[in-house]
Copies of this chain bind each other. A is one copy, B any other.
């Protein structure tokens, strides 16, 4: 494969690859540094953010999340992104699971952390990051997932994992 784009966040490779069975085929692959997802929970409520996403050109509801910096420990990244995006700091972060967002095309892996013992502070959002905090009761979040009002895969997967296995 050859590198076809080298950006600040992603690299794109394209070309012929050999499969474990020896066959060759063409693929396009996006290399990504990985990311973290944070599930902030307090008194039966979940902290979601309403965020403008340029890639899809609209506002959507998501859990706080962000890209790993170079060689950054995922737990440190979860604490950093939670603070930057929402202003909150967590006394306890617990690793929940990791998953690939789109393994047919990308190596992006997301590490999910449950955040508890939350203290409010001031966010430090990046230029162009338009974000609003929303504390919503878990039952209501689940209803929003059921009605597909939440359209973000990592948020659907994480909220349902929490309600299915961690309560």
Find chain B residues with CB under 8 A from A30 CB: 10, 12, 30, 55, 105-106
Q: Is A25 within 8 A of B128, CB to CB?
A: yes
27 A-B contacts (beta carbon < 8 Å): A5-B5, A5-B12, A5-B14, A7-B12, A7-B28, A8-B26, A9-B105, A10-B28, A12-B12, A17-B128, A20-B52, A20-B130, A32-B105, A53-B100, A55-B104, A55-B105, A55-B106, A56-B100, A67-B104, A99-B153, A101-B101, A102-B106, A102-B108, A102-B154, A110-B153, A156-B160, A157-B157
- A interface with B by C-beta (< 8 Å): 4-5, 7-10, 12, 14, 17, 19-21, 23-30, 32, 35, 52-57, 60, 62, 65, 67, 97-110, 126-130, 142, 145-146, 148, 151-154, 156-157, 160-161, 163-165
